Amino acid sequence: MPTHRPVIGITCYVEDVDRYPWVGQRSVVLPHRYVAQVEAAGGVAVVLPPRPDVDAPLARTVLERVDGLVVAGGADVEAGRYGAQPHPTSQAPRPDRDAWETALVRAAGEVDLPVLGICRGMQVMAVADGGALEQHLPDRVGHEAHCPSPGVYTSHHVDPVPGSLLASVVGELPLDVPTYHHQAVLASSLEGSGWVPAAWHGDGTLEAMEDPRARFRLGVQWHAEEGELADLFVALVRAAADVAALRP
């Protein structure tokens, strides 16, 4: 556990929630597993809800208060952000999260703040740097292994790329990961962006990407917050602790 307890910002939803007797109460929403993983790794978790007044200066101001960032999973990124029409299976867009998280990951890149993107978070990071998404994996791979049942996490194997940052954290052997996604980053769209592949599924789906120019900038397509191993959160918190130690 790091000597400094770094502050880790986690993105989330703002939406209507029913909590008897309250109905449709506007709420900040995030699965607690994200918070639990950050805290277990030695970090202090703070939630960063999307804002209607989002812009680059505001994102930079927010990131001055945190030492690391987790871009959480969630709904599909709006297809128009990478110049595509939505697939019939695409979820309703969440423009508030798209705009806020895009501003945050770009600002984090400018100051080399440690970032971990999870599922949708990896996709946001790719699209923010000019990447594109495969909108419905079964159209290419011919199976539902990445998301077989609504509302249920399943698991499959991924193969870390030898010599990658990811492999230095989780090892180079095939890794069993919790999964729930029907979209994925189009690997060919990352060319020239600085991102490099960090893990693959056997069907050719890109399962992780990283930026070797950065202190710690990693996206994984699986739901690391649901896994029993906390290695990725520990690595993020350690990188963030280095940032915290340099602050006045």
Active-site residues, by number, are: 119, 223, 225
Which residue do the tokens 């200066």 mark? 57
* Structural element, H or E, at residue 243: helix 231-246
What angle (nearest 5°) sits at the alpha carbon of residue 166, between those of residues 105 and 99? 15
Alpha carbon of 5 to those of 49, 156, 229, 238, 242: distances in Å? 22, 33, 20, 9, 10
d(CA 220, CA 232): 10
Q: Which residues contact 41 (CB under 8 A, 6 or more apart)?
A: 1, 230, 233, 234, 236, 237
The per-residue DSSP string of 48-111 comes to E---TT--HHHHHHHHTT-SEEEE---SPPPGGGGT-PPPTTPPPP-HHHHHHHHHHHHHHHHH
Which residue do the tokens 């978790």 mark? 45
